[in-house]
A and B are shown apart, each in its own frame.
Chain A
Amino acid sequence: MFRFFAIRVLRAVLTVALVVTFAFIVLRLSGDPARSIMGDDASPEAMTAFRREWGLDQPLWMQYFHYFAAIFEGELGRSMRGGVPALDLVLERIPATLMLTLPAFLMKLAIGIPAGVYAALYRDSVIDRAVMVTAVAGYTVPSFVLGLVLVQLLAIWVAWLPTGGTGGLQHLILPIITLGVGGAAVLARFVRSAMLEVLGQPYIRAASAKGIPWASVVRGHALPNAAIPTVTIVGFMVGNLIAGSVVVESVFSWPGVGNLLVVSVAARDLAVVQSILLLVAAAMVFSNLIVDFLYGVLDPRLANGNTGGDH
């Protein structure tokens, strides 16, 4: 068991280091923060002073070394735009993002799981087809299109809700719906597929043949076994809570981490982008660790390194 988790923790640390290194190289090679932040009309002297101030005039390897050395001291650098510590800037935005992503996450679970289970239990029925058509539509329509359509309908035509920005609970409704619909559709499809696979297993037929009521078979045998693939996708959604709303935050001008990421990438505000990526990678890795742990709980054979396949 210890080895199981030790390997995963080591793998997680390596993943975060790779993500940060990749982001460092790509961002530094693909854009010039001085031009992005100082603007088109800045003089070459001002640009030079900017690069000197932020150490951008040093060789790439030296910048990389300083960056990593600072990380080990718990220092993620300062925003070139605001001058404030990058991590503070990112942490300030997390509550705003969670105000969207947490309710949207609950919405995904509340709609996606029952819809998927129901569709699987009534396979090929009208309900199944209706759920799947809706799920495919929800899955394939890009969130920015759905967001703009909702704004057109509910904010401009009937003027019930604001088009974006912050201010009150009413500002949350459209972004949450936009985020939740796509995720619920994905989850419904996964759950249906997992349930169908489980429902076709011999042990389900055996339990049913023993005369156990169908509802108990579903609750006691089908749902727990279908939970493993479902936990995987739910874990991914948890990992996405911090930065999974980039597009929706842009469409609704919501001041969260996603919006900060877009603006910071455009401005090549390197410390901020790297802080966000570090947090996102850490969140994703942490949620994967939890998922791995849950695998072990849901199916102890996995934790023991024994899938039972050869028996």
Chain B
Amino acid sequence: MSNFSLTRRQLIATGVASLLAASGTPFARALAAERKTLKIGMSGFPPAVEPVLYAHTATRRIAPQMFDTLIAFDQTPEMGLRPGLAERWERVDGKSLRLLLRKGVTFHDGGPFTAEDVAFSFSPEHLLGPDMAGKVTAMQTMDTIAKVVIVDSHTVIVHAKADDALLEKRLASWGSEIVSKRAFEAAGSWDAWTAAPVGTGPYRIVSQTLDVEVKLAAHDSYWGGLPPFSGIHFRVIPELASRMNALLAGEVDFITDIAPDMFAEIEKHPELEVTGGPVQNIRYLAIDATGPVLEKVGVRRAMSLGLDRKALVQALWQDRLPIPNGFQFPSFGEAYIEDFPALAYDPDLARKLLAESGYNGETITYKLLNNYYPAQVSGAQIMVEMWRAVGINVEIQMMENFAQIQTKPVHAIYDSSSTAIFPDPLAHAWREFGPKGTLPKGSIWKNEEYFGLGEKLKESADPQARRSIIRRMLEIVDRDDPPCVILHGSGQFYGKRKDVAWAPGQTLDLNFGPFNAAHTQN
């Protein structure tokens, strides 16, 4: 079983660009000289640019420029797989994958990429972080990897601990980036390594100044072709108004995290545009199902049925965000239950369920952060009115951070979001509602049937068997014992100059390399 998704045009473009870049011809030099430095205003500084350590949004905006994975997501809505540092791959058995590595790839320091680097990148020494203490985010996807066997300098077999239908996706997801073993060992310590980690990506790190900036320069011998920019200057501008001003004044070419009420202001300027859209993340309201009122399933369902999500998304997001059918995305492919019912708006049924539950207008507390998520407060105010219309009495209580919200007893609802680290329920809903998930760990919801189904899902490779398990899990979350109220898909929106060729992907990752769709489709 092998999997390719590079088009012929992409392949030719990539090959020609690589040859030109590598050849150092006058044309290639002219092409390189014409490029400009891309200036980006972003909201926060990454805690580190080493992707095994953090999945922080700021990290995910920089890491894809510096590192490659063996297999990569194509960032189309289907989230298909394409070759990365592995030219091709094939299943050995249910738990093993043979990968044939790309030859002639060099790291930022000029060192060659070989199977040794793959084995090191997936070793506990790297994946478990400093002192192998496990203070890392990579293990949430890579903990199923047992070992890497080196067949030859450019062939490896990756073994999972058990049958793993998702192994290919894991090798394309956060935390599976390949680093240089030689450079890591030369650094001598994690502190030195994280100051300037070495990957094979289209840009290499030049400098990073805490809370101020991260500077990258083009890695012109990149295997995927000449990087479109001579460098990238990530400037940390935490205040949204200041980021906007920097864009309007032409000091930066691209800004992150813009709020919907700024779309119109940006689009007033002919040289600027709003870009971005839905990403693989669901915004939801977590429910403490152990509380005196919210323990009643009927009340929880009524809260969902009382929300007119279409009106909410229209009012807050100019209809730019999707409303999913259940806690899933179409990108899950065979694991996507396409006929699962859409989230209903049914005030009459909501009132009926409330009456059957014996709900008598008791106050339900909504612990709310001040726009931790974009448009969060205005969204909460709209929802409180929608609930009031069906007879649910929700009272907002402002909080400063999640630790305050999750102080026990919670006895409330609160905003949360869930990223599909790779396209499958095990990398999405299971991370929230499985026994080690956010809600059960917080002791605010548990469902033994759900936990049992998830364990079965982990062991199952048969698509049809998986689908029936997933359908039942979706029913539990949506109808039988809801741990949450699903709101809508999340979005990431950016303001940018129109003359910067760049297309958004499906995740928090930003990709300014030659594989960005704006370059591969031209």
- List chain A positions with a Cβ less than 8 A from chain B: 30-32, 35-46, 49-50, 52-53, 81-83, 89, 148, 151-152, 155-156, 159, 162-166, 250-253, 255, 259-260, 262-263, 268
Pick 21 A–B contacts, CB within 8 A, sort by A.
Answer: A32-B403, A35-B403, A38-B135, A39-B56, A39-B59, A42-B55, A42-B137, A44-B438, A46-B134, A46-B137, A53-B133, A148-B241, A156-B248, A159-B249, A162-B251, A163-B245, A165-B235, A165-B237, A166-B212, A255-B209, A255-B212
Which residue of the partner chain A has the closest CB to B137? Answer: A42
- Taking a contact as CB atoms closer than 8 A, the residue among B174, B212, B403, B417 that contacts A40 in the complex is B417
Do the beta carbons of B400 and A148 come within 8 Å of each other?
Answer: no
Do the beta carbons of B238 and A45 come within 8 Å of each other?
Answer: no
Do the beta carbons of A39 and B236 come within 8 Å of each other?
Answer: no
Give the distance in Å from the alpha carbon of A162 to the alpha carbon of B242 in the complex. Answer: 11
Do the beta carbons of A46 and B135 come within 8 Å of each other?
Answer: yes
* Chain A residues within 8 Å of B249, by CB: 155-156, 159, 162-163
Interchain residue pairs A-B with the least CB separation, the first 7: A32-B403, A49-B135, A39-B56, A41-B55, A43-B140, A163-B245, A31-B401
Do the beta carbons of B251 and A250 come within 8 Å of each other?
Answer: no
* Chain A residues within 8 Å of B136, by CB: 46, 49
- List chain B positions with a Cβ less than 8 A from chain A: 45, 47, 54-57, 59, 133-137, 139-140, 174, 191, 209-212, 235-239, 241-242, 245-246, 248-251, 400-404, 416-417, 419, 421, 431, 436, 438, 441
Closest CB-CB distance, B103 to chain A, in whole Å? 34
* Chain A residues within 8 Å of B417, by CB: 40
Do the beta carbons of B245 and A89 come within 8 Å of each other?
Answer: no
Which residue of the partner chain B has the closest CB to A267? Answer: B47
Which residue of the partner chain A has the closest CB to B243? Answer: A253
Do the beta carbons of A31 and B404 come within 8 Å of each other?
Answer: yes
Q: When A155-B249, A165-B235, A165-B237 are in contact, do A41 and B402 touch as well, CB less than 8 Å? A: no
* Chain B residues within 8 Å of A259, by CB: 211, 238
Closest CB-CB distance, A211 to chain B, in whole Å? 59
* Chain A residues within 8 Å of B212, by CB: 166, 255
Do the beta carbons of B210 and A152 come within 8 Å of each other?
Answer: no
Give the distance in Å from the alpha carbon of A52 to the alpha carbon of B133 in the complex. Answer: 10
Do the beta carbons of B139 and A35 come within 8 Å of each other?
Answer: no
Do the beta carbons of A39 and B55 come within 8 Å of each other?
Answer: yes
* Chain B residues within 8 Å of A255, by CB: 209, 211-212
Do the beta carbons of B134 and A49 come within 8 Å of each other?
Answer: yes
Question: Which among A35, A40, A82, A260 has the greatest number of chain B C-beta atoms within 10 A?
Answer: A40
Do the beta carbons of A163 and B246 come within 8 Å of each other?
Answer: yes
Do the beta carbons of B211 and A43 come within 8 Å of each other?
Answer: no
Closest CB-CB distance, B181 to chain A, in whole Å? 23
Give the distance in Å from the alpha carbon of A50 to the alpha carbon of B47 in the complex. Answer: 13
Do the beta carbons of A253 and B235 come within 8 Å of each other?
Answer: yes
Do the beta carbons of A262 and B210 come within 8 Å of each other?
Answer: no
Q: When A49-B134, A49-B135 are in contact, do A263 and B238 touch as well, CB less than 8 Å? A: yes
Give the distance in Å from the alpha carbon of A83 to the alpha carbon of B59 in the complex. Answer: 17
Q: When A155-B245, A255-B209, A255-B212 are in contact, do A39 and B137 touch as well, CB less than 8 Å? A: yes
Q: When A155-B249, A163-B245, A165-B237 are in contact, do A43 and B139 touch as well, CB less than 8 Å? A: yes
Closest CB-CB distance, A1 to chain B, in whole Å? 45
* Chain B residues within 8 Å of A262, by CB: 238
* Chain B residues within 8 Å of A260, by CB: 211
> How many A-B pairs fall under 8 Å by CB?
124
* Chain A residues within 8 Å of B246, by CB: 163-165
Question: Which among B242, B250, B401, B404 has the greatest number of chain A C-beta atoms within 10 A?
Answer: B242
Do the beta carbons of A46 and B245 come within 8 Å of each other?
Answer: no
Question: Which among A32, A39, A41, A50 has the greatest number of chain B C-beta atoms within 10 A?
Answer: A41
Give the distance in Å from the alpha carbon of A107 to the alpha carbon of B468 in the complex. Answer: 72
Give the distance in Å from the alpha carbon of A163 to the alpha carbon of B248 in the complex. Answer: 10
Give the distance in Å from the alpha carbon of A263 to the alpha carbon of B416 in the complex. Answer: 22
* Chain A residues within 8 Å of B250, by CB: 159
Give the distance in Å from the alpha carbon of A162 to the alpha carbon of B78 in the complex. Answer: 42
Do the beta carbons of A30 and B404 come within 8 Å of each other?
Answer: yes
* Chain A residues within 8 Å of B401, by CB: 30-32, 35-36, 268
Closest CB-CB distance, B262 to chain A, in whole Å? 14
Give the distance in Å from the alpha carbon of A253 to the alpha carbon of B241 in the complex. Answer: 11
Which residue of the partner chain A has the closest CB to B44? Answer: A263
Do the beta carbons of A37 and B47 come within 8 Å of each other?
Answer: yes
Give the distance in Å from the alpha carbon of A164 to the alpha carbon of B240 in the complex. Answer: 13
Give the distance in Å from the alpha carbon of A148 to the alpha carbon of B137 in the complex. Answer: 38
Closest CB-CB distance, B49 to chain A, in whole Å? 13
Closest CB-CB distance, B250 to chain A, in whole Å? 8
* Chain B residues within 8 Å of A166, by CB: 212
Which residue of the partner chain B has the closest CB to A40? Answer: B417
* Chain B residues within 8 Å of A162, by CB: 249, 251
Q: When A39-B54, A42-B55 are in contact, do A31 and B238 touch as well, CB less than 8 Å? A: no
Do the beta carbons of A32 and B133 come within 8 Å of each other?
Answer: no
Q: When A41-B137, A53-B133 are in contact, do A81 and B210 touch as well, CB less than 8 Å? A: yes
Which residue of the partner chain A has the closest CB to B239? Answer: A250
Closest CB-CB distance, A259 to chain B, in whole Å? 6
Do the beta carbons of A53 and B135 come within 8 Å of each other?
Answer: yes
Which residue of the partner chain B has the closest CB to A163? Answer: B245
Give the distance in Å from the alpha carbon of A166 to the alpha carbon of B242 in the complex. Answer: 14
- Taking a contact as CB atoms closer than 8 A, the residue among B242, B404, B436 that contacts A43 in the complex is B436
- Taking a contact as CB atoms closer than 8 A, the residue among B54, B191, B245 that contacts A42 in the complex is B54
* Chain B residues within 8 Å of A45, by CB: 134, 139, 436
Give the distance in Å from the alpha carbon of A81 to the alpha carbon of B47 in the complex. Answer: 6
Closest CB-CB distance, B176 to chain A, in whole Å? 15
Give the distance in Å from the alpha carbon of A252 to the alpha carbon of B235 in the complex. Answer: 12
* Chain B residues within 8 Å of A35, by CB: 401-403
* Chain A residues within 8 Å of B235, by CB: 165, 253
* Chain A residues within 8 Å of B403, by CB: 30-32, 35, 268
Do the beta carbons of B251 and A163 come within 8 Å of each other?
Answer: yes
Do the beta carbons of B436 and A164 come within 8 Å of each other?
Answer: no
Closest CB-CB distance, B443 to chain A, in whole Å? 12
* Chain B residues within 8 Å of A165, by CB: 235, 237, 246, 251
Do the beta carbons of B55 and A89 come within 8 Å of each other?
Answer: no
* Chain A residues within 8 Å of B421, by CB: 41
Do the beta carbons of A156 and B55 come within 8 Å of each other?
Answer: no
Give the distance in Å from the alpha carbon of A35 to the alpha carbon of B56 in the complex. Answer: 10
* Chain B residues within 8 Å of A159, by CB: 249-250
* Chain A residues within 8 Å of B237, by CB: 164-165, 253
* Chain B residues within 8 Å of A53, by CB: 133, 135
Closest CB-CB distance, B253 to chain A, in whole Å? 14
Do the beta carbons of A30 and B239 come within 8 Å of each other?
Answer: no
Closest CB-CB distance, B178 to chain A, in whole Å? 21
- Taking a contact as CB atoms closer than 8 A, the residue among B133, B416, B438 that contacts A49 in the complex is B133
Which residue of the partner chain A has the closest CB to B59? Answer: A39
* Chain B residues within 8 Å of A151, by CB: 242, 245
Closest CB-CB distance, B52 to chain A, in whole Å? 10
Do the beta carbons of B402 and A32 come within 8 Å of each other?
Answer: yes
* Chain B residues within 8 Å of A89, by CB: 210
* Chain A residues within 8 Å of B140, by CB: 41-43, 46
Give the distance in Å from the alpha carbon of A155 to the alpha carbon of B248 in the complex. Answer: 9
Give the distance in Å from the alpha carbon of A246 to the alpha carbon of B135 in the complex. Answer: 32
